[in-house]
Amino acid sequence: MGAPKPCFCLCLCLSIIIFFLPLVSSSHHLPGNPANEIVAIINKNRTAAKLGALNDSPGLGCMALQYVELCKDNCAATNGSVNCNPPEDDFTEVFGPNCGVELPTFGTITGHIVGCSQSKRYIADPEAAFSEVLVRDGRSLSVVRNRSHKGVGVGLFGVHKGPFFWCVLFGDGETNSTFMLEERGQGIKQKKGCFSGSAFACNSSNLIRSLGLWLLSLLLCLVLHILRG
């Protein structure tokens, strides 16, 4: 068996580059889980106002992601507001069950903030997303600093070639007894977006996309190799 031809070796190298390039570029735009960073910023804002930090609730976070997925077609391009108000029953009948929130542990949603933007820079800059997308006025700030909140969860969702959405849900109750996820949330793997308290990175779908591109490029290289003899 002869040595591989230079053309095939070049194709193989290019296919490897194609596999890793989306992962490198996506990690620049989506560093880990930006939803967790929004929670940290909210607690920093509250403690600066001498208010208690909130519990990071994966149950609230997952429902926040469900919320923005439902509202993905309702972003106002002019001011970044989200014109979408799901019925309150959706939390217990749709969002909660989809996330695996145990019904007996379902507490009270004490507030929420929703925002959207066409700019990708807010994904890489959670501080700017907090101050320029989510909390742009006194009304939103008063929601963040409400004394009745005990827990918080953040959902983040991006539409392909479209806007990015953020949702912050606040709730009452303690971490170990309210908005509890079945099997501690181990069975939940979001296909798009991310939510705070989750162990999964926001860009997990990029690995699948990269693998598909790599297999396609490798297949094309093999076809070219066979045709060239």
pLDDT tens digits, one per residue of 15-66: 454 444 443 333 333 446 899 999 999 999 999 999 999 999 999 999 999 9
- Checking if the pLDDT of 72 tops 60, the result is yes
Q: What is the pTM of this model?
A: 0.73
Residue with tokens 């793997």: 189
Q: Which of 4-8, 33-37, 79-83, 156-160 has the lowest mean pLDDT?
A: 4-8
Check: CB of residue 164 under 8 Å from CB of residue 156.
yes
Q: Compute how many other C-beta atoms are within 10 angstroms of the C-beta atom of residue 102.
A: 14
In this prediction, residue 5 carries a pLDDT of 55
In this prediction, residue 13 carries a pLDDT of 52
Check: CB of residue 203 under 8 Å from CB of residue 26.
yes
- For residue 120, CA distances in Å to 15, 30, 83, 117 come to 27, 10, 20, 8
Which residues make Cβ contacts (< 8 Å) with residue 70, sequence separation at least 6? 84, 86, 90
Check: CB of residue 169 under 8 Å from CB of residue 66.
no
- For residue 139, CA distances in Å to 22, 52, 134, 145, 226 come to 39, 19, 11, 10, 66
